[in-house]
Every structure is written in structure tokens, then in C-alpha cells.
Chain A
Amino acid sequence: MEPRTQAVSDLSTRPDGRTPLLQVRDLRVWFELRRWVFSRAGYVRAVDGISFDLYPGEVLAIVGESGSGKSTLIRTLLGLHRPIRGSVSYQGKDLRSFTPQEMRWYRNTQVGYVQQDPYGALPPFMSVRQILEEPMIIGGIRDRRQRLERIREVMEEVKLTPVEEFLFKFPHMLSGGQQQRVVIARAILMRPRLLIADEPVSMLDASIRVEVLKLLQALQRRYHLSVIYVTHDLATATYFADRIIVMYAGKVVEQAPMAELLAHAAHPYTVALLTALPDPDPENAHRLKEVPPGEPPNLIAPPPGCRFHPRCPRIIQGLCDREEPPDFEVGPGHRAACWLYRP
């Protein structure tokens, strides 16, 4: 089935001639398990054959549960893990062929990273001003006045105002929402083209979440940023993303434009995620939700065939538990790796 998967994933989702900013091709990131120092006990296949394109100005949501490989994927996109196979290319150039200078340029000026836990992402002993000044010092902006000016500019942009009030505060003196604004300010400081946001609102209170999401959305529009929004929460993704990739156990099970996915979710896993979405409806308390039991598989010895088959309500015996499903075209720009959609 391997060659066919290749063929389909090479079809560009956007045949309009624009070149993607980021191209991911058959990416595999495995971690080696060693029993003693030398005997290899196996691999954790955290990311196992992922392909997608990200175009300038596009917001792509990557949705998956814990253990689906989303964090490993992000770290690989940031150049922090070396893939065992496949490639990540930025503006057509493979990250692995970057010189150390190019890697610094890529990380420092091209990608902004918004971490999940704002408190953990901010050094507790540095003031907001120091936190925001550091990337510029590393980036080689020598002029103090220029740096301070840019700090004021981004702080106003993320609405940490009045600026004077926040400049000399330490992270612990800020609320969760304010901390996350500092993280966002730091991410956009060097005017990146790509923003990678890893669960940027999951640690925040409900009433603040929307505020931070709207801020990210406004920044994305103003600067025509490409955004990879990684989350386990389909609900927030629907508000923000143009396109969505659903991951399960290290693989992409479905990808589609956002509206298309909401209207015609194809993969049984995606359907389950949509069913499980908490919705404030008083009837919920009186009925059970139809969600598959069980838990995502172990990534050291993933099940044969489709990795979702042990939990799948629509399993085709003898096929799903044996053969790995390739991507099938199920709609415009909409692909699902599921045998139910074989032609």
C-alpha cells in the first residue's frame, strides 16, 4: 500500500500555483528504546508518515489527543528533532541541509513559538522587558533604544497596556492571560512568517480563552502569518483554522478544509471527536454519549492495519485489522485514511 499513499499525498491541496511556505513529506520521527546501552529494544513511532503543505497566510489546525504525536511534530518543525525519514522544507529548503547560521535565522526570525503553559515558558527571574529584549539581543539588534521601541510596539499590539505598568513586572505578578500575552509578544517580536501555537489557550480560564484566541486571529490577519495551531480541542480549532489535520497515533487520519470537515467528517475517529465535544446542552446529563471505549494504542507496537481499528465502531473485519489504509479522496481537498472510502 506504500506507493499509493505516496501518490495521493503528493497531490497538492491548492492547485493554484502558489508555493507553500512549509512542506512536510512522509515525516517519520521515531525514538529509540534501549534496554541496556547497546541492545535496541524497539522504537516509539511518535510521528509515522505525515505529509502536508502550509501556504503563506494559512491557518492550519493540527488536532489530536495526547500521545498522537502532535508535540513531536511541532518539535520537528522547529528543528529540535531529526526525522528518521522524510523531510520538512521551509521555503523549499530541507531543514536538515540548513547550516547552523541558517538554523539560527530560521528559529530566531522566521518562526514564532507560543507554548502551552505560559508560566513554564517564561523565566521566573526575568522581567517582561528582559524577556522581550533577549531575542533581539541574540538576533543582533545592538541599539538599546531600537529594542525598547520594538518592545513597546509589541506590547501595545498584544494589549499589555499601559506598557509602563507591565515592563518591570515578573511573570508571577501577571495573570494567566497576561502571561500568555507576553509569550505571544515574544513569539511575534522578530516579525516571523510562521507562528506555531501549541495549545495556546488550554491552560487558561474559559472567559479569557476567547480573548487570547481573538488576539492570535487579529495578529494572523494583520501580518498575513501562517499559523500552525496545535490542539486537542476541536471546538476552538473550528473558530480559527482554514484547514485541519486530524492525527491519531502518529498518523494523519483525515485532512480537510475546516467547513468541509464539520459538514462531512469522514473518518470514524474524527466523527467520535466531534461527538465527544462538550456542548452546554441540559439534555447531556440524561443521555450517554456514543464514543468509542478504550485508549489510543501504544506507539512502540502499534496495532497492525489501521491504528484505530481496535476502537472503531465501523471496523471491516479482515481488512482494517490487517492492511494499513491509504489516503482516499472523499471531497474537495478532503482526504481520509480509512477503508470505508475505498473506491
Chain B
Amino acid sequence: MIPSKALLQISGLTLHFRTRAGIVRAVDGVDLEVRENEALVILGESGCGKSSLARAILRLLPRNVAAYHGSILLDGLDLMRLDDESFRREVRWKLISMVPQAAMNAFNPVLRVGEQVIEPALNQLGMSRPEAMERARTLFRLVGIPEAFLQRYAFELSGGMRQRAAIAMALITSPRLVLLDEPTSALDVLTQANIFNKLKQIKWELGVSFILITHDIAVSSELADRVAVMYAGQIVELSDAQRFFREPLHPYSRGLLASVPRPHHRGELAFIPGRPPGLIQLPPGCRFADRCPLRFEKCAQDPPAIHREGRMVRCWLYE
């Protein structure tokens, strides 16, 4: 199974916010590609801009946008040229849907779960209610919730079930691409493993593509075909999962991998000293330089995206 055809092509995507303290460069020139039936992981810590990247892709923008440009092609369709109304009608839900962070807490408490899950199918696809309900039943089976729960209210479902229901909702319009923003970070390990089992089956059976946004490198391996590491608004490494988890290139990625406790391979745990730079006053040169154990003179200059054997890394070490 080699996913080949490009589904989503992003280049030079930029999203800056205006705040009282200055311009926040949350997404600062991102180039990415998601292929058909592929899961791309965007890995980064809080404040690196990964959720803003998801919002930029789905054009879910707040009012204080200072800059929003670049190009996003979905199956050849130039999304940036669409006006807001056609984007809402033709793209959101229909082609790309999203399971936002803490989606499980976003259900309306006074509406039955089923009513909410079918809403995108009614509004975006114009499906009839019985048709949509039938599809919801199929999806509930797929994500592993008994059908009867369609008639229940959100408080009657456990956290894991609500999260599955949110995933079912994102799939109800049969989108090509689903964005998952930290889909399991508030859940227990067993629940988390169960949900990833379901996501894998969905990927294998329905052939959808996923963008999985997470801060957890261990969790990211559960779904990843390729991994993009984000740091301070930029993608600093992009690689296939096979090589990434065995031998990450960027010193930041290496630090992240070394900080994962692995009970079955005992060894010293390492950590990355310091903290990421604020996105308002970014340091000149490499944005990771002040925390990097391998920095040298060259790092005072901005490192370009260096391509090597199908991988990309933004680091002078690989020049």
C-alpha cells in the first residue's frame, strides 16, 4: 500500500494574528502535502502553531487575522480562490471535516447525540433524515458505539464514547480528508488504544486521508504514514514514518523522541532544556538554535528546507 496521488497540497501557507503585544506568526510559510488514503501527523508542542495550521486549512479564522495567504489545492481545486460562502458550502464538511480538540465536550447537552451527528449530512449534503440516520447507524457501528446511543444525550455517554461520536460526525458527509486535533489526549490509555484501532480500520476500509495533530510522539506513531514536525510556526522536518521513528533528523525531533519513557527499552530519559520562543518576537536564524545541543555559527542564519532522500529537514547540519 503506497499512497501516491496527492490529495491536499499546501504551499507557503501563512496565518498571522494581530494582538496588542504584536503580530503572532502562528503559521509561517508551511509547505505540506497529504496523499490519498494517507495519514499525515503534525507533531509539535503547545504554542507551535499546529492548531492554527488546522484552522488555516479549514478557514476557521478569528477576527484578528493579520495575514492569511499561500495556496491550498485539494484535488486540484484551489481553495484560496473560493469566497467564504462557497468554501462553507462546498469544502467544509463535504471535502474536509474536523474533529476539533475536546470535541467530546462540544456536544449540545439538550439535543440527542444522533440529531447532532446527522446535522452535517442534512445541511451540507441535503440528505433526508431517514437516510442520514441510517448512515449514522452504520458509522456508530464502525466506531464501536451501540446504535441505541444515537437516541441518548451527551451526558449519558462516557468520554471515550463521545469522542467516537465526534469522529462519526466528522465522517458522516464522507469527506476526503479528516483533521483530528489531539483526538485522544484527555482519554485513558485503553480507551485511546481502542480509538486508534478504530481510526486505523476506518482508514483501511473507507480510504479517507487524515491529518492528525498531536504533541505526543508515541501516540503519533499509531496512525502515521508520514510525520511533519512543527516548531515555532514552521515545519522543521518532514519524513516518512518508517525512517522518522527510527532515525529522526532534526535535533528537535531527536530530543522529542529521547524524552519518551519506554518501559521496555530502559535507558536514560533526556529532555530539551529551555522553552520554545514566543511567536511574536522570533529569534533571527534557526528558531530552535538557543535550545539546540548541536548549534554552530551557521545557525545564526535562517536554515533553508533541505531535501534529502525524500525527506525534508530545516537544519544546517544537513547542508
Contacts and interface: CB of A to CB of B under 8 A. Distances in A.
- Same complex for A and B? Answer yes
Interface of A: 65-66, 175-177, 205-211, 213-214, 232-236, 238-239, 262, 272-282, 284-285, 288-289, 291-293, 295
Given A284-B221, A288-B200, A295-B158, A207 B272 contact: yes
A282 B245 CA distance: 6
Interface stretch (B5-13, B114-122, B189-197): B189-197
Interface string B250-261: 000001110111
A175 B275 CA distance: 8
A330 to B, nearest CB: 19
A210 B190 contact: no
Contact of A282 (B192, B244, B261): B244
Nearest to B240: A282
B152 to A, nearest CB: 15
Contacts of B191: 65, 295
Contacts of A289: 193, 196-197
A120 to B, nearest CB: 15
Given A278-B192, A282-B241, A291-B190, A211 B218 contact: no
Contacts of B270: 210
Contacts of B259: 206-207, 209-210
B256 A206 contact: yes
Interface string B172-204: 000000000000000011111110110011000
A65 to B, nearest CB: 4
Interface residues of B, number: 50
B217 interface: yes
Interface string B226-248: 00000000000000011011100
B218 A280 contact: yes
B222 A284 contact: yes
Contacts of A278: 189, 192-193, 216, 218-219, 221-222
B262 to A, nearest CB: 6
Given A235-B262, A282-B245, A285-B39, A276 B193 contact: yes
Interface string B39-50: 100000110000
A232 B190 CA distance: 10
Given A280-B262, A291-B193, 19 more contacts: A65-B188, A65-B190, A66-B159, A206-B217, A206-B256, A207-B255, A209-B259, A210-B269, A211-B271, A234-B189, A235-B262, A273-B189, A273-B190, A278-B193, A280-B257, A281-B245, A284-B221, A291-B190, A295-B161
B20 interface: no
A291 to B, nearest CB: 4
A236 B259 CA distance: 10
A260 B312 CA distance: 43
Contacts of A273: 189-190
A130 B170 CA distance: 47
B220 interface: yes
B215 interface: yes
Interface in B120-142: none
Interface of B: 39, 45-46, 144, 158-161, 188-194, 196-197, 200-201, 215-225, 241-242, 244-246, 255-257, 259-264, 269-273, 275
Contacts of B222: 278, 284-285
Given A65-B190, A280-B221, A238 B263 contact: yes
A288 B197 contact: yes
A275 B161 CA distance: 21
Nearest to A205: B45
B275 A177 contact: yes
B269 A213 contact: yes
A275 B189 CA distance: 10
B239 to A, nearest CB: 10
Contact of A207 (B45, B144, B261): B45
Nearest to A209: B259
A279 B269 contact: no
Contacts of B257: 280
A233 B189 contact: yes
A209 B45 CA distance: 12
A312 B3 CA distance: 37
Nearest to B275: A175
A293 B45 CA distance: 30
A207 B260 CA distance: 8
B263 A262 contact: yes
Given A206-B45, A210-B270, A276 B263 contact: no
A289 B225 CA distance: 17
A211 to B, nearest CB: 4
A66 B242 CA distance: 33
20 contacts: A66-B188, A207-B256, A210-B269, A214-B269, A233-B189, A235-B261, A273-B190, A276-B193, A278-B216, A278-B221, A279-B221, A279-B260, A279-B264, A282-B241, A285-B200, A285-B222, A285-B241, A288-B200, A288-B201, A291-B190
